[in-house]
Structure 1
Amino acid sequence: MKDYLIHLLDYELWANLRVINSLETVTSPPSRAIAVMGHVLAAQHVWYGRMANESVFVSIWEDIPVSWMTETAERQHRQLVSFIETVTDPILYRPIHYKNSKGIAYQDTMQDMLTHMSHHAAYHRGQVVQLIRPMLKEAPVTDYIVWKRGG
């Protein structure tokens, strides 16, 4: 299971970078597009903190300048992969207790958290692409199967 989850994280990095690269080509991207892509990256960091039981000092709607997004995505990918590589498979299925951004207590497994992160990012990347599509010659394709085929 660890290998599969790392595989999903690798795909997520590839897809995030394609959208970030497109954002970088737009002269004046919509502020909503920047905010949503920043949310993807900030939420990923918040989920990491929950899994690793570490305090994080970002909100889920953190302002991240486009010029910092590539470095942020790559750093967080390394951090998540390194973390996942250190846990044993049984830990992936243990409940983790945490509070969401509204202070409500929940418990979910690391496997479910990582799966959620992947789906959450895909949903929001679609929003970003929709916002910047009119400003691009060609919209970035971020489909999993395109990445899997060597995209």
Structure 2
Amino acid sequence: MKDYLIQLLDYEQWANLRIINALSSQPNAPERAITIMGHVLSAQQVWYSRMRQESAIQPIWEDIPVSWMIETAERQHDQVVSYVRILTMEKLNQSVHYVNSKGMAYQNTPLEILTHMSHHAAYHRGQIVQLIRPLLAEAPVTDFIIWQRGE
């Protein structure tokens, strides 16, 4: 299970970098696309903090300049992969308590949170591709199966 989660995180990083590189290639990338990618990265950091049961000091809609996104994505990928590697299967399935951005208390397992993070990012990457497709000769493809094939 942990190997699968790390594989999913590696895919996530690949897909995020494809989107960030596409945004970086456009001198006039839509502001909404940049905002959404910033949200993906901010939300990942917030969820990582929640899994570790640390206070999340970062807003989930933080403005992150495109020039910082690759470094941010790489740092966060390394953090989350390192965290998953040290988790026992018991801890992976043990609920953690956290408070969401509206102050409401919840609990989920790290496995559920990691699954959510992947689906959340995929949803938003799709939004970004829709926004930038008209600006590009070829929009970035971020499908898991494409990554799996090494294309």
Q: Greater shift after overlay, 36-45 or 48-57?
A: 48-57
Question: 1:17 aligns to what?
Answer: 17
Question: 1:99 aligns to what?
Answer: 99
SS at match of 1:16: helix
- Identity over aligned residues, as a percent? 66
CA positional deviation for 1:19: 0.4
Question: 2:123 aligns to what?
Answer: 123
SS at match of 1:102: coil
CA positional deviation for 1:147: 0.1
CA positional deviation for 1:55: 2.2
How far apart in 2 are the matches of 1:57 and 1:90? 28
Name structure 2 gaps, 5 residues minimum. none
The code of the aligned residue for 1:47 comes to W
CA positional deviation for 1:5: 0.8
Matched, 1:83 2:83: yes
Matched, 1:137 2:140: no
Number of residue-to-residue matches in the alignment: 151
Q: Aligned runs of 1:40-51 on 2, under 5 Å? A: 40-51=40-51
CA RMSD of aligned residues (A): 0.7
CA positional deviation for 1:37: 0.3
How far apart in 1 are the matches of 2:28 and 2:58? 25
Name structure 1 gaps, 5 residues minimum. none
Equivalent pair of 2:53/2:97 in contact (CA under 8 Å): no
Which aligned runs of 4 or more in structure 1 are off by greater than 2 angstroms? none
SS at match of 2:55: coil
SS at match of 2:39: helix
CA positional deviation for 1:81: 0.4
The code of the aligned residue for 2:53 comes to N
How far apart in 2 are the matches of 1:144 and 1:102? 32
Relative to the length of structure 1, the TM-score reads 0.98
Relative to the length of structure 2, the TM-score reads 0.98
CA positional deviation for 1:87: 1.1
Question: 2:5 aligns to what?
Answer: 5
SS at match of 1:48: helix
**What whole-Å deviation, never above 9, does each CA across 1:57-103 have from its counterpart, x for those lacking one?**
21000000000000100110000001111110110111111111101
How far apart in 2 are the matches of 1:140 and 1:13? 14
CA positional deviation for 1:53: 1.4
